[in-house]
Chains A and B, each alone.
Chain A
Amino acid sequence: MTFHAGTAAATAGFILICAIGSFAARPDSLKLAACRAAAVSVAGWTEQKDGFRSFGTKELYDLIDGGAVEYEKPGLVGGIVFELAAADNRSAKIYIDDFGTRARAQSLLKEKRKAASDPKPLAGARKADGFTDEVIGGCVAYASSESFYFELVLTGYDKPDRSKQDAKAFVETLVKIVK
């Protein structure tokens, strides 16, 4: 059997392309874990047992059914979700998604802003980087930084303004990690 240098080079190239492709398809798990740890360390909040899940696109369909479409479309690579609680009945469900590129994460944020019922600026964030939308008992905060997209559901509040203050604190903490 003759060994061809060209074949070897092509094979090596194929393996390299596969390796790069495989690497590119994985979320930055170190940064995701660091984000989780940082959010948990925000004063007054405790992580809830059984509230953590990591997901790719397929698992996101299990979590949020048809809602997953709008995350898959701009190119979700993967993410995590976890829940925190504070002593006075406040709770926070935090989704952190890695989209691989800043442009993709920003494109989802733009779509979310378009779909929001009454988007308001997220205190401390540039208009392009985050906003909040009130829900009954709190708010949902949306933000992005680098290749990451953040969605925080804050409930258990008597006054929406307080939920927005908490959103600001969480988002500032998360942005510091991914910058």
Chain B
Amino acid sequence: MASAAGLAAAGLFPAFTEEIKSGWIDKKQINPNIDNLRVVSCRAPGMISGDPRKWDMASQNAPVVAERVIRTMDALAIGLSQKATPHEAWGAIFRKPESKEWQEVRVAIKLNCLGDNHPRVAVVDAVCRALVSLGVPPAGIILYDGNGNARPLYGPFAGNGILAGVAVSNKNDLLGGMTAAPVPAPHKGMFKCTAAIANGTIDILVNIAVNKGTSYAGTTLTMKNHAGTFEALPIHLGGGLDYIIAFSKSDALLGGSPVRQQLCIVDSIWANTKGPFGVPNKRPCVLSMGTFSPAVDYLVARRVREPLMGCSHPPALSRIMSEFGYVNFENLDMVSVDPVA
């Protein structure tokens, strides 16, 4: 008869052992030079020339003024890192393992490919250009979504809106498929996770979400975006917000040296009050970023979704901060970055 531990390791059911490894310990700094609670945001209507009439990828990217988005992303990086130039700023945000040169670094960018609203191509391109400016080869960057599938959406833009050479994975194929990975409390167990992220082959993980709603804490932002790095189904089988918080603390995402997930971005150029699927019904024209996923999500919910989109969120929203050991965060605010000329 197979042991419980053996079955758990095979991903057949959650392990109930105490030795589940977490990537998070209270007060851990994602980046030693950037406060976890520093989240920058820019509202810039000039990033678009109008609204899409349809929501296929070509249509929702056509009105985006890519050059303006790239410069806005540079300004946000400067605001986040408090450095003087975009190059210095991106160099402070992205950190590589000491044992590697930049040209050896492997990067995965998690996109939200479910439904109709997806991170705009120019936002993804801005991150790719920043990484390449540090020395990462384009082929070292992999765009993926194990749930919604990045390949059909972003594949046509590689070399045509996104830096040539950047790889776009069919589900998790370019990242070794899926493997069982430990997820800590409050939903402890072994769950399927993108293999190259779980096993540390990926050095830098970038999380690019869009701004949508859901029934779990009212938001689908950067934390929920990793349903697609981790298997999504346990959310709907009773895991709910506990599972989302738990995988957000996992060693796969917050382990590594330096910490694997180094940047979290929310593209709220167009956004959904509801979700996680459906056509956007709001146009906040906002981009936000930070290093610590819960702070990014909490502030986007409170400072973008509520005042600019008329959304309300349940009290459970506070758990995304309190479960990471934070208190008195209710008055926390974003750092506003001026739109670029």
A61 within 8 A of B: yes
Q: Are B281 and A133 in contact (CB under 8 A)?
A: yes
CA of A137 to CA of B51 in the docked complex: distance in angstroms? 7
Tell which of A68, A117, A153 has the most Cβ of chain B within 10 Å: A117
Q: What A residues does B281 contact at CB under 8 A?
A: 117, 133-136
A161 within 8 A of B: no
CA of A157 to CA of B55 in the docked complex: distance in angstroms? 12
Q: Are B276 and A140 in contact (CB under 8 A)?
A: no
CA of A11 to CA of B147 in the docked complex: distance in angstroms? 44
The contact size tier of chain A is 20 to 34
Q: Are A65 and B53 in contact (CB under 8 A)?
A: no
Q: Are B310 and A137 in contact (CB under 8 A)?
A: no
Q: How many residues of B contact A (CB 8 A)?
A: 31
B153-161, B267-275, B320-328: which lies at the interface: B267-275
- Residue from the list B55, B148, B275, B310 in contact with A155, Cβ < 8 A: B55
A67 within 8 A of B: yes
Which DSSP category, helix, strand, loop or mixed, fits chain A's interface? mixed
B233 to chain A, nearest CB (A): 7
Q: What B residues does A91 contact at CB under 8 A?
A: 54
B215 within 8 A of A: yes
Q: Are B277 and A70 in contact (CB under 8 A)?
A: no
CA of A69 to CA of B235 in the docked complex: distance in angstroms? 10
B279 within 8 A of A: yes
Task: Sort A-B residue pairs by CB-CB distance and give the 4 closest, nearest first.
Answer: A135-B279, A64-B277, A137-B53, A135-B281
Binding site for B on A (CB under 8 A): 61, 63-70, 89, 91, 115, 117, 133-138, 140, 153, 155-158
15 contacts between A and B (CB under 8 A): A64-B115, A64-B276, A65-B227, A65-B277, A66-B276, A67-B115, A67-B278, A89-B53, A115-B274, A117-B274, A134-B281, A135-B280, A136-B51, A136-B282, A155-B55
